[in-house]
Amino acid sequence: MSTASTASAELGWFSTATVRLPCTAIIDDDLSFDWRFPIEMKPLLGHPVVLAQSYEVRRFIHVQAYHKYLHDICLTETDVVNRVAADIAYGHSVRKFEPDIAAQALAIIVDEAFHSYMARLFSLKVIRATGIEPLVLPRRNPLVNAYEVVAKGMNENNAALSRFLCCCLSESTFTKEILVASKLEGYDPAFRKLMEQHLADEGRHYGYFRHALTWLWDRLAESERETAARLLPAIIKVYFDDSDELIFDRNVLLAAGMAPSVVDSVFRDIERVRPAFGELPRLRNSLEFLRQARVLPHPAVQRQLANEGLLQ
């Protein structure tokens, strides 16, 4: 970034960061709450067997979906994005990023910590409004798995590269996902407002990580680019693997009182439909982000993604 663009990035943060906005209409004394969670974000909720359950059972399942989603925001922001942002800020990432990029990483940390805080407050609000507490929530999600598992056993430089790419892919897919969610209808208006505010910050983060990746890619040695090319499909595969998520969802249906045999049949269907709902749009978003960062055209990236059947 040039000096002029740095100044505008700083001014942009001070004028647009949602941490500076009042949380009215998201977290306040009003406990009215529409328990319906968007089915488009969790296809399980639209399964005919789930739709046929009683009001109380469906309400329980939807409220658990809220708790899980809000918990995932906390995991994503604090366990992945902010760890990567701190590495960038303090010069411990793949490269010592230029001062402007390093400074803006601290603004990312402020934003993401705030998103986690708001998500946790919203979860508490949901408990107060419904009396339904979350089931035991997993300590990890697919993104945390990708962040930790793929880098395991690598030398420090490759591990840092893996963690950085993981964060870039997450910030690109997540932004697109909340963009879609913010346009949906038929769920809690305060939650929708939370998503809209979150999106305002994530749009900026998308641009930040695209710029950081472009800056880095230009400075990587050819051997490092080839390593990155091998890492990308490995990260995508772990990040998009939601088998652990299905364990939690299964526990929710059982806790709601549904018979194990019925729950099993629901999940057989969900597994069959999963790619159409989950993987393909996210993959498209990831590839578009890599294209914008000028990573995708690299022959090794093309080859590795194609080998794994991930090029569309």
Contact footprint for Fe ion (CB under 5 A): 112, 115, 202, 205
Q: Report which of 251, 236, 222, 225 is spatially closest to residue 289, judged by C-alpha positions.
A: 236
Q: Report which of 117, 155, 152 is spatially closest to residue 27, judged by C-alpha positions.
A: 117
Quote the least distance from Cβ 155 to Fe ion, whole Å. Answer: 28
Structure token pair of residue 106: 């601290």
Nearer to Fe ion, 33 or 208 (CB): 208
Angle between helices 222-239 and 299-307 (to 10 degrees): 30
Nearer to Fe ion, 167 or 290 (CB): 167
CA gyration radius for the chain? 20
3-class DSSP state for residue 10? Answer: helix
Structure token pair of residue 146: 């990708």
Nearer to Fe ion, 85 or 270 (CB): 85
Half-sphere exposure of 280 (CA within 13 A, CB side): 6
Kindly tell me the burial class for residue 132, based on how many C-beta atoms sit within 10 Å of its own C-beta (0-12, 13-18, 19 or more). Answer: middle
Quote the least distance from Cβ 50 to Fe ion, whole Å. Answer: 29
Q: Report which of 96, 42, 312, 126 is spatially closest to residue 212, judged by C-alpha positions.
A: 96
Kindly write down the DSSP assignment for every residue of 140-178, as one continuous string. Answer: --HHHHHHHHTTTTS-HHHHHHHHHHHHHHHHHHHHHHH
Nearer to Fe ion, 100 or 202 (CB): 202
Nearer to Fe ion, 85 or 150 (CB): 85
Quote the least distance from Cβ 201 to Fe ion, whole Å. Answer: 6
Nearer to Fe ion, 19 or 300 (CB): 19
Cβ-contact 105, 88 below 8 angstroms: yes
- What sign for the dihedral angle of Cα 106, 111, 114, 119? negative
Quote the least distance from Cβ 119 to Fe ion, whole Å. Answer: 9
Cβ-contact 162, 154 below 8 angstroms: yes
Quote the least distance from Cβ 112 to Fe ion, whole Å. Answer: 5
Quote the least distance from Cβ 170 to Fe ion, whole Å. Answer: 8
Structure token pair of residue 15: 């004028």
Quote the least distance from Cβ 102 to Fe ion, whole Å. Answer: 17
Quote the least distance from Cβ 229 to Fe ion, whole Å. Answer: 25
Nearer to Fe ion, 45 or 165 (CB): 165
Q: Give me the residue whose beta carbon is nearest to Fe ion.
A: 205
What does the alpha-carbon distance between residue 133 and residue 130 come to, in Å, rounded to a whole number? 8
Nearer to Fe ion, 95 or 205 (CB): 205
